[in-house]
Chain A
Amino acid sequence: MELLWRFLLGGALVSLFALVGDVLRPKRFAGLFGAAPSVALASLALTVAKSGPSVAATEARSMILSSLGFILYVWVVHRVLARGRWPASLVALGGLVVWGLAASLAAGVLLAGGA
């Protein structure tokens, strides 16, 4: 049942923020909503309900580091798309490797630091 709530809440928040981004202009301003904390809001709220605020706070701390990976990911995607050689779908999905590598590095840093 908890997984169903996660799915519904996560799906609804991602859709809501994406819809807001779709109807806003200029495009650079609308892009802010591509980085909306939709998954974070849903996950943290449900983690607090299930495991308590200290566990949710630990998740939020990890999120700070992986957000830097997000920034690196969209920066790379921005640079590649600005050249105009590759379609957005390919660049945006292929670029997820950058986020994955950054998140792996963040995991290594957090675990090595005994967080």
Chain B
Amino acid sequence: MIPKLDFSSLKDAHGYQYAVRFMLGGAVTVCTGLIAGHWGPIIGGLFLSFPAIFPASATLIERHETEKKQRAGMNSPLRGRKAAALDAAGAILGGYGLACFGAVAWLLLPVYPFGLALSVAGVVWLTVSICLWWVCLHT
């Protein structure tokens, strides 16, 4: 199975949903900075893995799938919830990549320029996540 792009979900999305995500992402990043400033980087760093994207995405997926089924004459919300559960299954794998991102950033930031360190950490997140997805797909 090859991942592909499907822009149909964007047609059903509302502008306010993207505004909420922007506000939430901005608010979490501001709070992380404030917490780190008040309680130090050890506590502030915990918020770097706050689930800022997942709740809104899962809600959007459920709504999109449920509306699609309603248009086909089916009123059960079950399909939408199962679709959101699949999204969560992917996020579990991405979570392992997130931990690897933190480990690489921790090791590289004191040694290399921050642009290089964060780029390598980002590539490691993506590589670990995709490799885990591929392994799960074939086992």
Can you name 16 A-B pairs with beta carbons within 8 Å?
A: A3-B34, A6-B32, A10-B25, A31-B92, A32-B94, A38-B52, A43-B33, A60-B105, A60-B109, A61-B106, A63-B105, A70-B95, A71-B99, A75-B88, A89-B62, A103-B46
Q: Is the CB of A58 within 8 A of B42?
A: yes
Q: How far is the CB of A40 from chain B (nearest CB, A)?
A: 4
Residues in chain B within 8 A of chain A (CB atoms): 1, 3-7, 9-10, 13, 18, 21-30, 32-34, 36, 41-62, 77-78, 80-99, 101-103, 105-107, 109-110, 114, 117-118, 121-122, 125, 129-130, 133, 136
State the CA gap A58–B109 with chains docked (Å).
Answer: 10
Q: Is the CB of A18 within 8 A of B21?
A: yes
Q: Is the CB of A43 within 8 A of B10?
A: no
A37 and B45 in contact, given A12-B22, A60-B105 (Cβ under 8 angstroms)? no
Q: Is the CB of B82 within 8 A of A81?
A: yes
Q: How far is the CB of A55 from chain B (nearest CB, A)?
A: 5
